Chain A
Amino acid sequence: MTKFGILLALAMVFITSTAGCAKGTTVKNDFIDGESGGDAETLNWILAADATSFSYAGHTVDSLATYDNQLNIQLRCLAKDIEVSADGLVYTVTIGNDLKWSNDSPVTSEDYVYTLKNLMFSDWLNYPYKSLWQEEVDGKTVLVTPQVVNDTTFTITRQTVYPEFVYTIYDLTPYPKYIASNYEGNVEAFTQASEFNNLTYTGNLGPYRFKEWIRNDRFVVERNPEYYLGKDIGAPYFNEYIVKLFSTSATRQAALEAGDITSTGIEPAEVNRFRSMPNIKVYTIPTVGYTLLAYNQRANGWEGLKDKTVRQALSMAINKQTISQAILLGFAEPAYSFIPATSPWYTDEGLAKYGVAPLYDVQKASELLYQEGYGIKDNNGTIKAANKDGSPLHLILAVNTGSKPAEDMAFSIRKDLLKLGIETEIKLVPWATLLRQYVMNAAPDSEQEPGDNNGPEAVSQESWDFILMGFSTDLLAPSGSHVFFTTKGGLNFFGYSNPQVDELFNRVMSKEALDKGARQQMYADLSRVLSDEQPVDFLIFYRANVGFQKNVMGIEPGINMGYNYYMWYFEPVK
């Protein structure tokens, strides 16, 4: 949900301690977090689109709110929760009156409104996530309207109702108007501004202050004694919080084992070994990441994939237990829709659970294909999948290189499909190639710029039948997934179209969904329809393993372990 909350949780995947335990704890030592996801692009976060940039900046500036492991909203820069008008159009935001910039001037609602209006919504800066603040009104795309009410209160007004828009607002982080206005209109000067690239303005807005960033090596922040949430209890309790980058998981894990770092992610195959170490504690937590197998329903995919029964048959032959147990060693849950079981919007009832018994059934899958005309029967009655003209089926599965589990999944799927008689060619391609040549599409013989969904006629440069891809979902606002599954969804690269799904997503983002009970039912219907329709085969939701040195105290494993990491502390020496 909140940008910094989610991204911190995803990138650092940690944390928590209880306030009671931490009281009286003395500040000592440095926390070294071993990461290997690549370095950030910039600390000037408004220009960033990568998760690491947000996670780095997030150590020094809080967003308006985040959520805890039970998905309860936790106020950060907010003085009280955001108030939504009865008609669902006006959001009133009240920030704390103890927030300060580095020059000791107060952070005011003017700073937030300036950040929205003059920076995020501007044409000159090209904020990458501007679309999150836009709405469709009478066929036109317009921006929402922020307005200052007083020093600590501002409003954001929409013209259309979107019940989950509040979670976008929770993400909001301000830029200081007194600095940013000096660079307004000059993108080069803004990009290179030392105040933003060195986070010198952050005042008491985050638990830590920027200290040092050595590219491709380490990002260091030091304790902020003025932190508005921690100054009364002496938090945070580490002198420095250091993100140390490693290029391989082997060296990252060796560093944890040797005690050179405090925490890092553990690969599934290493979890048992680390669990047996006396100095390490490993936590297994659910995540919002999932992997799916997209079925190409566009003109350059196998024609059978446009047939719902065929898609069901294929999903019925792909064993999700093999993927979750044999490839990911139990650190994954089979997925049946885009909403994970950890989301409050998840409904189990009515879900078609393809890929798990009884809907994992190769024999029945063969029969379904035969019934649809995509199979031939030999004299013994054995069915082999084939094209309608009886020719053998050769399909293409594209997957990006660099992820061992993804590659293993691709080979497992190939093995499963071979049981139906389908030969699958796996194309391992770099991520950028996968996006540009397989995902992006344009109508043939047109002037269209390639996009992720350029309409029903559009096709990708390379032909494909399946793409294995990782997605993530928002636990509190899953409606964002409309971009994948609606006919005009910006990321519906596989060409799925179902008016019922379009209507349900429209309703879940409308006034009707202000009623939470009604919204719950809409999400249940959406999950049920998508699990039955199988526009994609939802494969698995991941579980992450995070290892800590045992003396890190107060860790509470959960979906958003990082929500109050500023309260972590090292166990006092007895």
Chain B
Amino acid sequence: MRKSWLSDYIVKRIIYSIIIAWGILTITFILVRVGPNSPADKYLANIAARGGDPAQVTAAVEARYGLDKPIYVQYFNYMGNLFRGNLGWSFSTSMPVSELIKTHWIYSFQLIFLSSLFAAFLGILIGIYSAVKQYTKTDYAFTFLSFIGISIPNFWLGIMLILIFSVKFGLFKTYYDTTLPLFSLDNLKALVLPVITLGTGMLAGYVRYTRSAMLDNLKKAFVTTARAKGLPERTVIGKHVFRNALLPLVTIIMFDLGSIVFGGAYLTEIIFGIPGLGQISFNAIFANDYPVVVAVTLIGTFMVLLVNLSTDISYTYLDPRIRYG
């Protein structure tokens, strides 16, 4: 019975997701294309310095990439290609957009995945410990460190880590090395500083959220009952308190996962020279490379929708009382 309504729900959500993605894609396409800027803008300084005619160059570049056609023609061409699985040609990097994404997604993924893992694992552990040992010196210390972690800007932290651990002590390379094999200890080592940079803020947040959610539940009657029944403290905390505290935490962690893809991860990519999707899309926006902008937005949209769907499904397992109509 449960399987039936859940699969119906998933199908319905997927259909909604496709409609939402189409809407976002269309809005992104229009925003990028109706702006006053042109893909030729990046050339203008050099053209000007060499005595070229900027108007002529703008026209030439736009004609070369079909941007001189009416916007609705460009839109239908783009959508037609998209349905055939063709994401277009990136004119700011001179390669097919699909190939560009295929080459670069892994750099973002490994950074986001490891940072989230690092932040969620440590953050939850410390949060539980802080809640259980409330108002002890350790709790105060973790609280203090959490506020520092939340307040430190990624950009500053990353540069400080480089200066201390790479320049001063020579423990790590100053930048991420794309030549390292993906599944190797060297690659893992190269990701230590970026993961700390991206993960610290999240970790600190998770400590606070976990502590707060745990404390809420620790005061509830079912905890007193569990203790009165003589259950060991470890079972009370792990099975009863933590499981109930997990629901809001999952929401926050999943939300973070969606938001760091194009937010925090981009800054970390910048600092450590990681050529991930954040950098690619940022540069594409400034180059008015709309095939890349639209494709990366599409991926981001699907990721967020997927994360939301996973979150909703996970609720039904964490709290079997939850049902979706």
A interface with B by C-beta (< 8 Å): 38-39, 41-44, 47, 49-51, 126-132, 187, 191-192, 197, 214-218, 244-248, 250-251, 254-255, 257-258, 260, 431-433, 435-436, 440, 449-452, 470-472, 480, 482-483, 490-491
Contacts and interface: CB of A to CB of B under 8 A. Distances in A.
A452 B54 contact: yes
B63 A247 contact: no
Given A47-B64, A131-B53, A197-B95, A214 B43 contact: no
A42 B60 contact: no
Contacts of B178: 214, 217-218
Nearest to B278: A216
Interface in B255-294: 270-275, 279-280, 283, 287
B42 A50 contact: yes
A41 B54 contact: no
B273 A254 contact: no
Contact of B271 (A191, A251, A432, A452): A251
14 contacts: A39-B93, A44-B94, A49-B61, A128-B52, A130-B56, A191-B89, A214-B103, A214-B275, A216-B279, A247-B279, A260-B173, A435-B54, A452-B54, A452-B55
Interface residues of B, number: 55
A435 B44 contact: yes
A246 B174 CA distance: 11
B166 interface: yes
Contact of A43 (B43, B63, B94): B94
Contacts of B56: 130-131
Contacts of B272: 251
B100 to A, nearest CB: 7
Given A41-B94, A191-B64, A49 B103 contact: no
B188 to A, nearest CB: 18
B45 A431 contact: yes
B174 A49 contact: no
A199 to B, nearest CB: 12
A255 B63 contact: no
A260 B175 contact: yes
B43 A49 contact: yes
Contact of A50 (B46, B54, B63, B104): B46
B41 interface: yes
B166 A449 contact: no
Interface string B175-214: 1001000000000000000000000000000000000000
Shortest 8 CB-CB contacts between residues of A and residues of B: A126-B60, A49-B43, A217-B275, A42-B94, A432-B41, A255-B174, A247-B270, A216-B275
A35 B163 CA distance: 19
B159 A250 contact: yes
B36 interface: yes
A251 B174 contact: yes
Contact of B51 (A131, A187, A431): A131
A42 B272 CA distance: 24
Contacts of A449: 55
A44 B64 CA distance: 14
A215 B174 contact: no
A491 B103 contact: no
